[in-house]
Amino acid sequence: MKKLIVLLLALVMVFSMVACGEKPVETEEPTEASTETEEVTDAETEAPEVAEEGKVLNIYCWNEEFQTRFKTFYEDAGKVPEGVTINWVITPNENNAYQNKLDEALLAQADAADDDKIDLFLIEADYALKYVNTDYTLDVINEVGLTEEDVADMYQYTKDICTADGKLKGVSWQACPAGVIYRRSIAKEVIGSDDPADVQAALADWDKFDAVAADAKEKGYFMVSGYDDDYRVFSNNISEPWVTDDKITIDPSVKRWVEQTKLYTDNGYNNKASLWSAEQWAGAKDDGTVMTYFGPGWFFDFCLMPNCLADSEGEAEVGNGSYGDWGIVKGPQGFFWGGTWVCAAAGTDNVSLVKDIMYTLTCDVDTLTSITETYNDFTNNVPAMEAFAADENFGSDFLGGQNFVSVLLDSAQSISMENIGPYDQGMTEEFQKAFKDYFDGVVDEETAYENFYTAIMEKYPNLSK
């Protein structure tokens, strides 16, 4: 398995220029990735025993989400040791630039000067196994020093996704159960109510969801913004992995997304927006006409909320754009989307500091509680989320005062990593890309499938139909 992941790392570096990206934050110009493919040995990557820790902590990530939480709950709390500089290496996800940058640095880790070595780096669910199943990541318990008790209250799936050979290789401050985020004022017109119970009843399965989409169109609204808004619901509910024994499987759940999205595009139930585009967010503005978006806490706090404001420099509050005119329900199926895990890089000379950061931001219940209150994150602590769900005084102003934790709690408890695999990111990117042409009528369905197979087998030559 480790050799497979090293192969994947090399393949991603070579073919990444054709890959799509997630929402970027342009804080550093991405550099061209190295094409070295030699495997770094255990001896080269083993964390050294040092008497004194380094004075520079290098953190690799792709946007400012973790940076914001680090600054608020660690740096501003005075926890950074005197004389230590925090160096953020932030590279956008677009065109796989972040992984390219990270891969290049990891390949050079063994020979890098101590203050140039990666100490912490962040990964996402779609490609977690690429790093977890290698020696680039330290065992959080046996090498970094967290205890089993420290991580006991985390949602099990957040540990499963970063566990290899029985070793936990990454931890997260968030769990990411997701739901349908709906525009209350539009729901009143289309459904007749904006009450979450009524909206959930109207959207309880996909047949009902499709029927409401038709009603929304008649009233001048789009049910979803574009092609990929609800893709993660379908891909997250597959019954078998994308790849088994190097054979590609396209699950019926993903085929159902193709069927629905073609219907929505042909009938004008979506506005043909691509994920993360200006057109997608235009539908959430004060005068926007999109009824639903799909996502977890990070999506509606970090992505949707800023884009719904009429005055981007003003306070995020009711009266500024569509802020407050939103609600959330489980929708047709429970699902999760994404999440960010913090990994300790083998070779770090700041093990003690890395341990304290991991503990403070992913294990400490007081910090996690504050993150939920401040950023609407569904944080990674089961008892804390159960307490929030039961708290009648807790709610999000963005969601009209609604307690989103109570809505998403059941989905969080049922998330399974059974069908994830190391190819998931590439599969998602190439499948969405190939079928956009089908949705737009450029190619027929059969050609779209062939285009997908061609693209994915160019990216991963070891795979076959």
User: Which two structure tokens, joined as six digits, stand for 5?
Assistant: 């992941």
Q: Is the pLDDT of residue 26 over 50?
A: no
2-175+338-385 and 177-337+395-414 share one fold? yes
Q: Confirm if 229 and 335 have CB atoms less than 8 A apart.
A: no
What is the distance between the alpha carbons of residues 135 and 204, in angstroms, rounded to a whole number? 44
The pLDDT of 383-401, averaged and rounded, is 97
HSE, side-chain direction, 13 A CA sphere, residue 288: 32
Per-residue pLDDT at 37: 32
> Within 13 Å, how many C-alpha atoms sit on residue 410's CB side?
7
Per-residue confidence band for 35, with pLDDT thresholds at 50, 70 and 90? very low
DSSP designation for 304: I
Query: Please, what is the average pLDDT of the chain?
Result: 90
Q: Which residues contact 46 (CB under 8 A, 6 or more apart)?
A: 135, 346, 347
Pick the CATH number of 2-175+338-385 from 3.40.190.10, 3.10.20.30, 3.40.50.880, 1.10.3720.10: 3.40.190.10
Residue 379's contacts (CB-CB under 8 Å, 6 or more residues apart) are 173, 174, 175, 368, 369, 371, 372, 385
pLDDT in tens, 321-366: 999 999 999 999 999 998 999 999 999 999 999 999 999 999 999 9
Q: How confident is the model at residue 5 (pLDDT cuts 50, 70, 90)?
A: very low
Least confident of 188-192, 218-222, 415-419, 442-446: 415-419
Mean pLDDT across 219-236 = 97
Answer whether 253's CB lies under 8 Å from 208's CB: no
Q: Name the least confident of 38-52, 106-120, 181-195.
A: 38-52
249-286 pLDDT, tens digit each: 999 999 999 999 999 999 999 999 999 999 999 999 99
Question: Can you point out the beta strands (E) in 184-309?
Answer: 224-226, 243-244, 247-248, 270-273, 292-295
Helices (H), 335-423: 351-362, 365-375, 382-390, 404-414
pLDDT tens digits, 38-50: 333 343 444 434 3
Amino acid at 281: W
* Of 11-15, 324-328, 395-399, 443-447, minimum mean pLDDT range: 11-15
* Mean pLDDT of all residues in 285-299: 97
CATH class entry, domain 177-337+395-414 = alpha beta
Is 65 exposed, middle or buried, given 0-12, 13-18 or 19+ CB atoms closer than 10 A?
A: buried
The pTM (predicted TM-score) of the whole model is 0.85
With cut-offs at 50, 70 and 90, classify the pLDDT of residue 6.
Answer: very low
> In the prediction, which pLDDT does 95 show?
87
Residue 29: predicted pLDDT: 35
Q: How far apart are CA 408 and CA 396, in angstroms?
A: 13
CA atoms of 88 and 90, how far apart (whole Å): 6
417 confidence band (pLDDT: 50, 70, 90)? confident
Q: Is the pLDDT of residue 414 over 90?
A: no
Structural domain spans, the chain: 2-175+338-385, 177-337+395-414
CA separation (Å) from 392 to 324, 378, 389, 395, 404?
18, 17, 8, 8, 11
pLDDT of residue 27: 36
pLDDT greater than 80 at residue 235: yes
